[in-house]
Amino acid sequence: MCYSEPVVRYAAMSLSDLHRSFADSLNPGGRSNNMMKRERSALVHYLSALSHMKFMVRSQIRSMDSVLMACLLLSSIEIFQGRHEAADVHLRCALQVSGMVGDTGLRLQRWHASDTTMMSNHPMLGTLVRLRFQCDMFLNVSSAIPHHLAHAAQHFSPTKQNQFTSLSEARDILFTHIDQFTRLVNRTVLTQIATTPGDIGDRRKYSAAMVASGEQLRQLQVEGLSDLLRWDGAYQAFLAQHAHAFSPYEQHAATVVELYRDILRIMLRLGHSKGEMAPDPFEQDFGLLLSRIQMLISDPTEPAVTPDGQPVFTLEMGLVPLLYSIASDCRGHAIRHAALAILAASPRREGTWDGTAVYEVARRCVALEETSRLEGEMAACGIPQRNRILGLEAQIDLLTKKAAVILHQAEQTRLELVRLTMEHVAGYHAIWSDPVATRWSAHGPCKTVEDSRAWMSDLLLDKSPMGENYAVLLRKDIEADSIVNRFKCDTRDTDRHDVLVHGGFIGWVGTWKTDPVPEVGMIFHRSTWGLGFATEALAAFTQLFWTYKPQFNVLEAYCDIENEASINVLRKCGFELVEVAKGDYPRHDSGSYGTTPQ
């Protein structure tokens, strides 16, 4: 029907050349001149298709099918080449054009995106939606998409149908649900990874963080489970009526659809915003998924393997994303490694999902998350939360034909805040006896341990029951290589307290008074200056304070106006300058800073 259009004809020829080139690459003797000729031929046909595509879009469009088919083939070529941003442009264009459905050659009728029956009337539209789903998995947030297409049909919102007319309709709507939810999860993860809105060092930070909080994500999960239950009811009704007439290929396709349903059900119940890494409560569900995948791979009707066992290229979503999800999300060691083994032993290429490349990414994710396994940390409590892979970003260099994958992990906390007690007096004195460390304090240095003991006693619970005062210690499980003692003390100081060791007391942070308004103070050993410990400790303390003292709505801090280091720490932790008090400190004026619960 559309093959008379030059853009469709040239794009089909280009895609055919790419398929043959891919087949040659699998053949040990196929890396020859024929392969290079096919690649050149594919490029020539692709450029011809692009030229005719521009002409067709500028002309009066009489056939939506022609546009959709052209966009489908062009995006397929670009996905095959790893040019996901270019593919995304054509897919957005197709979805935008599909918003206008021609019922005659002269009139156009507006189509509402919620009308999912269109995917049954125009099967290519469903294929385009699935390709958008694949592109979403690889596109960077800062994608170079033309501005006028940036929001075109970004969300294809499915209606909550009670019946399906075909298996492809059920599959397309399910994939749309998965696509929308994974986008929201990724945005929430980006919000948690981000540090400050102005940090341009990481181009992913805040650029598309539209989900404000984990609470909103949990609400979306609740709604998603309800929508999935409705979808499953309609799907079961469809199976009851039509499953008896399924061909072997349709039976296989139905099983794949059910596997994606099950993986979405797990996604909707996982604690994405918390990064929970305890023993996996869904390990049995992941195990059942893996068993069904193993049965499908051994099925002779499985379409992603030829009779001779060689993999073939297909645009359809298949088993590679499922295996990747099991390997990356399942916390059970045996199950996730079994999924990795299947990926390694059965190279597959399904749209953007190249099984060999996905295996390398999943293997690296697992290796990073299980770095502490040999030390026995995973024996009882599962994978430590600090090892969790929060998200990944793919970057493709078309000039060198290489790809890089950036894995995002939560920053490992280096500090531990424990309630201040008399057991910490030695470390406390090591700081307060240093004239340099105490030069900004109106109190001044303590001369003896007894002076430090008396000075610290006012911060303890028995004298300050409303206070929140903590000793800041280096975590005992922090890597030894990250501890560097930079403090060069006088050799005559025989009482020097070595702080930069596991469990070492490096400082104090807390509210030294609460009436009429709580006021936070902090001091750190000179050997820790410049290492970011003060910022990390104050940020952790403010979270604790709002949790334990919800009756307060403001937290104040006073700082000498020339103490730039402490002022920077306050600002990084959300404190803002309120006023400057004249002559409040012995030598200089002081700035009053405040923060409120976020």
Cβ atoms 137, 352 nearer than 8 A: yes
Res. 335: pLDDT tops 60: yes
DSSP 382-408: -S-GGG-EEEEEEEEETTTTEEEEEEE
Mean pLDDT of 227-245: 91
Other Cβ atoms less than 10 A from the Cβ of 596: the count is 12
Angle value at C-alpha 406, between 90 and 398, nearest 5 degrees: 45
Cβ atoms 326, 335 nearer than 8 A: yes
Res. 312: pLDDT tops 80: no
> Looking at 266-280, 352-366, 506-520, which range is the least confident one?
266-280
How would you class 214 by CB atoms within 10 Å of its CB: exposed for 0-12, middle for 13-18, buried for 19 or more?
middle
> Which residue did the predictor score with more confidence, 72 or 254?
254
Share of the chain above pLDDT 90, in %: 11
| Direct distance between the N- and C-terminal alpha carbons of the chain, in angstroms, rounded to an integer | 59
Max mean pLDDT among 202-211, 347-356, 411-420, 500-509 falls in 500-509
Average pLDDT, the chain: 70
pLDDT tens profile 198-225: 333 333 333 333 334 456 667 778 888 8
Cβ atoms 313, 349 nearer than 8 A: yes
Q: Are strands 349-350 and 313-314 parallel, antiparallel or unpaired?
A: parallel
Which of the following CATH numbers is that of domain 415-595: 1.10.10.10, 3.30.450.40, 3.40.630.30, 3.40.640.10?
3.40.630.30
Res. 440: pLDDT tops 80: yes
> Which residue did the predictor score with more confidence, 136 or 569?
569
Cβ atoms 535, 491 nearer than 8 A: no
> Looking at 139-148, 446-455, 570-579, which range is the least confident one?
139-148
Cis omega (within 30 of 0) for bond into 384: no
pLDDT tens profile 541-571: 888 888 778 788 888 988 888 888 898 899 8
Task: Please tell me the pTM assigned to this model.
Answer: 0.52
Output the six-digit token pair for 449. 């341990």
Mean pLDDT of 62-81: 74
Instruction: Tell me what pLDDT residue 588 has.
Output: 54
- DSSP reduced 3-state for 300: coil
DSSP 158-202: ----S--S-HHHHHHHHHHHHHHHHHHHHHHHHHHH---TT--SS
> Which residue did the predictor score with more confidence, 557 or 38?
557
**Within 13 Å of residue 290, how many CA atoms lie on the same side as its CB?**
24
pLDDT band at residue 337 using 50, 70 and 90 as cut-offs? very high
Cα gap 84→87, rounded to integer Å:
5
79, 352, 500, 525, 590 from 27: Cα distances, Å:
22, 21, 58, 65, 75
Cα gap 150→138, rounded to integer Å:
16
pLDDT band at residue 196 using 50, 70 and 90 as cut-offs? very low
> Which residue did the predictor score with more confidence, 506 or 278?
506
Cα of 58 vs its chain's centroid, Å = 38
Cα gap 375→45, rounded to integer Å:
56
DSSP 66: H
Instruction: Tell me what pLDDT residue 146 has.
Output: 34
pLDDT band at residue 27 using 50, 70 and 90 as cut-offs? low
Max mean pLDDT among 4-18, 137-151, 265-279, 517-531 falls in 517-531
Instruction: Tell me what pLDDT residue 338 has.
Output: 93
Output the six-digit token pair for 250. 């349709």
Res. 116: pLDDT tops 50: no
Q: Residue ranges of the domains in the chain?
A: 1-156, 158-276, 278-411, 415-595
Residue 125 identity (one-letter amino acid) = L
Instruction: Tell me what pLDDT residue 540 has.
Output: 85
> Looking at 344-358, 441-455, 482-496, which range is the least confident one?
482-496
Res. 509: pLDDT tops 60: yes
Instruction: Provide the residue count of the chain.
Output: 598
> Looking at 138-147, 456-465, 559-568, which range is the least confident one?
138-147
pLDDT tens profile 397-425: 444 555 556 565 555 567 888 888 898 99
> Which residue did the predictor score with more confidence, 136 or 312?
136
Helix or strand holding residue 354 (H, E): strand 353-354
Mean pLDDT of 370-384: 57
Backbone angles phi, psi at 574, to 5 degrees: 95, 5
Cα of 48 vs its chain's centroid, Å = 38
- DSSP reduced 3-state for 8: helix
Residue 330, by phi and psi: left (phi above 0), alpha (psi -120 to 50) or beta? beta
Max mean pLDDT among 8-12, 304-308, 537-541 falls in 537-541
DSSP 122: -
> Which residue did the predictor score with more confidence, 28 or 597?
597
